[in-house]
Structure 1
């Protein structure tokens, strides 16, 4: 390890994400679901500092409530660091200092961004030079959203969501996201979706999920109006059933100029697509005046990167 890295450590920034489209297939025998998702990395970031240590330790702070984030080996970033150490035979440990800005358990992949950042940070700190392909293999072992947090940009995810193909997205898309005070458990949302789909009046889900072609056409055309016509999230019905108060916020956002409003991932964070930055600012002001925390973000942005 170079003296510079020994002294200062490594800082990596990784983005949260919004699911522009999320189709969920039926439950498999193992309880998991195949999905088809269009992900977009947005300008709400997690920062991770990695510094030399004899042990694997982590400290967590941020602008969001981090009360429920584990500060031990259950933390996904610590698991990521251990994977890199095992892969290269590193005998020591690392201290990870995580500063969170993505809502916790909010459906925007904050924990996955931490893990992606830890992979990149440890690779740089230990001068492992594993390369993109190897880091993506490690990322896929940690969770479906971790490979995308590494990649960034816009991508289509299939299988469990970790089989990624870059999607061409021209221009900039502006969003207003509204976090919620309490998170939602992703397994609970999927479980509730299965319960709802057992009813005859609820769509049972596609046999082989696929991203709607209109989504990809709108991204290529840099057309938020067209994108709004095709956004969809199959998990939304379950998230709103578990947290019905979110409907009021969705209605307010859509009545106040949003092209479309949707639950982000498994929720409960809400994402509102707008036509341009000025419209996003106006919507942010309206939602803030109504008493909601509202953040203006844009995408696509790069994946996990070392910050010098």
Structure 2
């Protein structure tokens, strides 16, 4: 007996930060080899899907998210995710979809990837197609380098162009972060191009972050000096005002600060929830929005309202 189609399905997926982001010289296919330590934090996008006779996509942005920055046509990654999943199962990509977006746009926190991962899980449940984990991760990798991690969550080592993910230790140790968003996003391709200009001698393969992975489950002070981002110099060169944000985080008492991914969001490691709130208060006005979050958190998962 076929189960009834649910009236709606909501799936939540987290933002990511890179505790380590090593970048190699471009490969023959144009992608950069990455060696990264992903960390999922408690800033989320929710994707809600409902049965429909056609496709529709709407956005409910947080007050600090500019709706104009999110395309809602065929170029939205959620539409691409739906098309791939529907194609795998030989069915039409029909659904009414609403994205509740709290992850900053073009902020280096993989908000689009979170939406794609959430859509894959939500539509799989809505359509009752029971996609295997292997196929979900294969579709996720086709959609983008960060999408497989958005499915997995927690802490993970990412290789290839970031799409090959393996869970690593430290998942039972909570870390606290302050997140400072910028008034204007940064294009990821432009940051990579600038990295290539600044680092024409980049190695074919980035060095592995052995010490960071070894210390992930240790006290927070053990990892504070090990946060690293090969794209940070390129992001700071393109947006020099981010240096002031990082300096402000240091003055506010953060244990460490780093540009998140390709930027321009900056994230600051703190010793506790109370410490994060103190640092956030000291950073008020340093960016468009100052948020606190903990991690690691789960990847894309069903939400019951």
Q: Which residue of 2 aligns with 1:245?
A: 241
Q: Identify the range of structure 1 (124-133 vs 138-147) with the bigger mean alpha-carbon deviation.
A: 124-133
Pair 1:35-2:31 in alignment: no
1:33 alignment partner, SS class: coil
How far residue 92 of structure 1 moved from its aligned partner, in angstroms, is 5.1
Q: Which residue of 2 aligns with 1:294?
A: 290
Decide whether the 8 Å contact of 1:54 with 1:92 is kept in 2.
Answer: no
1:17 alignment partner, SS class: strand
1:77 alignment partner, SS class: helix
Decide whether the 8 Å contact of 1:38 with 1:211 is kept in 2.
Answer: no
Kindly provide the CA deviation profile for residues 224-262 of structure 1, in whole angstroms up to 9, marking residues without a partner as x.
211111110000001011110111010010121111111
Write the distance in 1 (CA, Å) between the matches of 2:93 and 2:193: 40
Q: Which residue of 2 aligns with 1:219?
A: 216
Q: Identify the range of structure 1 (126-135 vs 172-181) with the bigger mean alpha-carbon deviation.
A: 126-135
1:84 alignment partner, SS class: helix
Unaligned 5+ runs, structure 1 = 199-203
Kindly provide the CA deviation profile for residues 19-38 of structure 1, in whole angstroms up to 9, marking residues without a partner as x.
00000001223322101000
Distance 1:9 1:237, change over 3 A: same
Q: Which residue of 2 aligns with 1:167?
A: 168
Q: Which residue of 1 aligns with 2:24?
A: 25
Pair 1:55-2:54 in alignment: yes
Write the distance in 2 (CA, Å) between the matches of 1:289 and 1:143: 33
Pair 1:125-2:126 in alignment: yes
Decide whether the 8 Å contact of 1:42 with 1:298 is kept in 2.
Answer: yes
Given candidates 299, 302, 305, the residue that maps to 1:306 is 302
Q: Which residue of 2 aligns with 1:113?
A: 114
1:18 alignment partner, SS class: strand
Unaligned 5+ runs, structure 2 = none
Q: Which residue of 1 aligns with 2:151?
A: 150
Decide whether the 8 Å contact of 1:177 with 1:296 is kept in 2.
Answer: yes
Between the two proteins, the alignment pairs up a number of residues equal to: 300
TM, length-normalised to structure 1: 0.94
Kindly provide the CA deviation profile for residues 58-81 of structure 1, in whole angstroms up to 9, marking residues without a partner as x.
111211222121101100011101
How far residue 293 of structure 1 moved from its aligned partner, in angstroms, is 2.1
Decide whether the 8 Å contact of 1:46 with 1:100 is kept in 2.
Answer: yes
Decide whether the 8 Å contact of 1:240 with 1:246 is kept in 2.
Answer: yes
2:235 alignment partner, SS class: helix
Write the distance in 1 (CA, Å) between the matches of 2:87 and 2:26: 33
Q: Identify the range of structure 1 (129-138 vs 178-187) with the bigger mean alpha-carbon deviation.
A: 129-138
Write the distance in 2 (CA, Å) between the matches of 1:161 and 1:120: 20
Write the distance in 1 (CA, Å) between the matches of 2:22 and 2:287: 32
Q: Which residue of 2 aligns with 1:260?
A: 256
Decide whether the 8 Å contact of 1:176 with 1:283 is kept in 2.
Answer: yes
Q: Which residue of 1 aligns with 2:15?
A: 16
TM, length-normalised to structure 2: 0.95
